[in-house]
Structure 1
Amino acid sequence: MTLLEVRGLTVTYPGGAAAVRGVDLTLPAGRKLGIAGESGCGKTTLALALLRLLPAGTEVTGEVLLDGEDVLTMRWGRVRAVRWAGTSIVFQGAMHSLNPVHRVGDQIAEPILLHRRASRAAARTRAGELLEQVGLSPARAAAYPHQLSGGQRQRVMIAMALACDPRLIVADEPTTALDVMIQAQILRLIERSVAERDLGLIMISHDLSVLSETCDRLAVMYAGRVVEEGPAGAGHDGALHPYARALSAAFPRVGDPASRFAPRGLPGDPPDPAAPPAGCAFHPRCPVALAGCATHDVLLREAPGDRRAACVHVPEAAPGQRPPRGTAAGPTPGAPPPIRQHPADPTGRTA
């Protein structure tokens, strides 16, 4: 059963910066999709677009189908009902996402009060249960965010995301700035919550090793587009697209002295979203670019092993090896829907 389907999503900020360009993704219920890429490749914009959390005036083309219902065409009342109850987001940087002047228990209870119509006593009880589920004492509900460590605040964010039993969780860099021990605990917590509740998960990170260990499938983004998609382990250890290979090579390998002392990076920076280069957006940095890459772009093409990549060097799979259309990321045929310009939420609320 398909939980989330993104079709031809394009997001253009005021001023003309196209942060997301024609992204297609599919996530079945109970599955985990990782999205990787450098800063500025469009990962967070994609996450915000899933629940219409983009700034006013942002132009959006495409469809975001959650259980078959297009989030981009919903009325504001319906959008507010879907947020938290249908899909919730664990934002990057818990200290900036939590309200510093409210106790964490009250912040966990707020969406329960709004979406479950629970009494205040029931909401406080539920907040304590959620804190216990994420490994914190229910007594920590009385604490303010500054009284908790970084790992504890991140656990509070996960408890908030689970508060209204959503079907989909979007985790945007949930382990940023955490030490490796706490990072491992947070990742195990997310995995356990997804498995126990049969949730869909989209995890966003620049760390391919984290995504390959946590997710079922991996999509690599560059300059607002998905350039490779396939099984998560293959995306880290056997990437097809030159950019995905460069991301993988940037991380030292345990037991490999050469990569430990001389990890390979990627020169240059991602292109300006307001002025992407002609042809393949990666060609100015690509070590294997051909002359035609500067003038002709390549869409995602099916490759062996249930994978897709947007590169002229990737051999296409034979027709019998190609998975059914719509099982994963891939270009969607047909003309895109009309551009929608997002107004500000009239309520000014996101809960």
Structure 2
Amino acid sequence: MTQTVQDGALENEAPGHDVLRLEGLHVSYKTAAGPVPAVRGVDLALPAGGRLGLAGESGCGKSTLAGAVLRLLPKSARVTGRILLDGEDVQTMTWGRLRAVRWAQASIVFQGAMHSLNPVRRVGDQIAEPILLHDKKVSRAAADRRVATLLDQVGLVAARAAAYPHELSGGQRQRVMIAMALACSPRLIVADEPTTALDVMIQAQILRLIGELVSEHGISLLMISHDLAVLAEHCDRLAVMYAGRIVEEGPADRVFADARHPYGRALADAFPRIGDAASRRGPRGLPGDPPDPAHLPEGCTFAPRCPITAEECLTAEPPLIAAGDGRTAACVRMDVLREGS
């Protein structure tokens, strides 16, 4: 995966090599007080079969970015830039073409399955619906057989197809959502905090299931979470988002273990590490809150919370630059951060 950065730090691959490519993506929302920026100039690429994690606190723009991929944002959203699925710009697709792309080329697993599933329809009918819509030649019997296969793949017996969402546990509902996402054999799955509402044991099972399925089927995965440790375990590369921008991107294990941006470092330090007594007894975390998107601070948006802020951080927002080990970071104080490691 590559990303556009200053000074030719990384060269862009040909767009045809990427299942998903974001180029200069900006998203703002119309409000009575004026437009509010949610995503600001994001450039990311996800190759075929790749797994990219997107991390950040609530309100940093992760879910807005996910919704923009398949034009699922409300009418109040204004989107500019390019969102390329297999080289085709989602922004310029007709509604007919967009309907054909959804589920069949790219699908989304949302945060809360109970809110995404129709409470008055059996889950088997809901899984079968995109299959029948996208392939008119498929009979209902063939669709039902496909549903049974999908349920088996996600660890549920075929008989659960007759259940209503309220008759299933949270983990089972999330498995149904994964089955729906796989129904039309997409090339890309966007998993937007797919385990947020689940307990830690079920969370581990669902994450392992997603990883196994995308690997088995060669599907590209964009996984969104606030949990850097989860993304580092399940993704090849990791992008850290703050105030609508990507502030660090690189190999997942390196970003988690040795972040080159102070925000990425703070996210990693917020989780206790096995074998590290100091972090177990006192995770460091990060004081304060992300800035209000409607009133972003001058200069680096992270400066008000940053422990290594200098005068130069207050005058201009730093661009992404090469940070070594195949990564980029938007910080002019990287050397100071590394010296303090």
1:222 lines up with 2:242 in the alignment: yes
Larger mean Cα displacement after TM superposition, 192-201 or 214-223: 192-201
The equivalent of 1:63 in structure 2 is 82
Give, in angstroms, the shift of residue 257 of structure 1.
2.0
The equivalent of 2:30 in structure 1 is 14
Unaligned runs of 5+ in 1: 316-351
The equivalent of 2:158 in structure 1 is 138
The CA distance in 1 between the partners of 2:93 and 2:295, in whole Å, is 31
The CA distance in 2 between the partners of 1:243 and 1:314, in whole Å, is 11
Q: Residue type matched to 2:122 in 1?
A: R
The equivalent of 1:109 in structure 2 is 128
1:191 lines up with 2:211 in the alignment: yes
Output aligned runs, 1:263-278, within 5 Å: 263-278=283-298
CA deviation profile, 1:168-222 (whole Å, cap 9, x unmatched): 0000011112122211111111111111111100000011111011000000000
Q: Residue type matched to 1:130 in 2?
A: L
Output aligned runs, 1:330-349, within 5 Å: none
The equivalent of 2:44 in structure 1 is 25
Tell me which of 187, 190, 208 is aligned to 2:228: 208
Give, in angstroms, the shift of residue 21 of structure 1.
0.3
Give, in angstroms, the shift of residue 57 of structure 1.
3.2
**Which secondary structure state, in structure 2, belongs to the residue aligned with residue 41 of structure 1?**
coil
**Which secondary structure state, in structure 2, belongs to the residue aligned with residue 303 of structure 1?**
strand
The equivalent of 2:13 in structure 1 is none
The equivalent of 1:93 in structure 2 is 112
Q: Residue type matched to 1:81 in 2?
A: A
Q: Residue type matched to 1:281 in 2?
A: T
The CA distance in 1 between the partners of 2:63 and 2:248, in whole Å, is 18
CA deviation profile, 1:228-264 (whole Å, cap 9, x unmatched): 0000001111001000000000001112222112111
Output aligned runs, 1:236-255, within 5 Å: 236-255=256-275
Contact 2:123–2:176 (CA under 8 A) maintained in structure 1: yes
Percent of residue pairs bearing the same amino acid type: 70
The equivalent of 1:40 in structure 2 is 59
Contact 2:111–2:197 (CA under 8 A) maintained in structure 1: no
The equivalent of 2:101 in structure 1 is 82
Larger mean Cα displacement after TM superposition, 157-166 or 251-260: 251-260
Unaligned runs of 5+ in 2: 1-16, 336-341
Give, in angstroms, the shift of residue 274 of structure 1.
1.4
1:3 lines up with 2:19 in the alignment: yes
Q: Residue type matched to 2:55 in 1?
A: A
The equivalent of 1:158 in structure 2 is 178
1:258 lines up with 2:278 in the alignment: yes
Tell me which of 292, 306, 312 is aligned to 2:326: 306
**Which secondary structure state, in structure 2, belongs to the residue aligned with residue 253 of structure 1?**
coil
Contact 2:48–2:218 (CA under 8 A) maintained in structure 1: yes
**Which secondary structure state, in structure 2, belongs to the residue aligned with residue 204 of structure 1?**
strand
The equivalent of 2:72 in structure 1 is 53
The equivalent of 1:339 in structure 2 is none
Tell me which of 297, 314, 320 is aligned to 1:294: 314
Give, in angstroms, the shift of residue 124 of structure 1.
1.5
CA deviation profile, 1:281-320 (whole Å, cap 9, x unmatched): 10011110111211111110012100000000136xxxxx
CA deviation profile, 1:70-117 (whole Å, cap 9, x unmatched): 001111111111100010000001111111111100000010011122
**Stretches of 4+ moved more than 2 A in 1?**
none
The equivalent of 1:328 in structure 2 is none
Aligned length: 315
Contact 2:108–2:191 (CA under 8 A) maintained in structure 1: yes
Q: Residue type matched to 2:70 in 1?
A: L
The CA distance in 2 between the partners of 1:54 and 1:248, in whole Å, is 30
CA deviation profile, 1:42-70 (whole Å, cap 9, x unmatched): 00000000000000131111000111100
Backbone CA RMSD of aligned residues = 0.9
**Which secondary structure state, in structure 2, belongs to the residue aligned with residue 284 of structure 1?**
helix
The CA distance in 1 between the partners of 2:105 and 2:220, in whole Å, is 11
CA deviation profile, 1:16-59 (whole Å, cap 9, x unmatched): 11110000001110010000000000000000000000001311
Structure number with the bigger relative contact order (C-alpha 8 A, sep ≥ 6) is 1
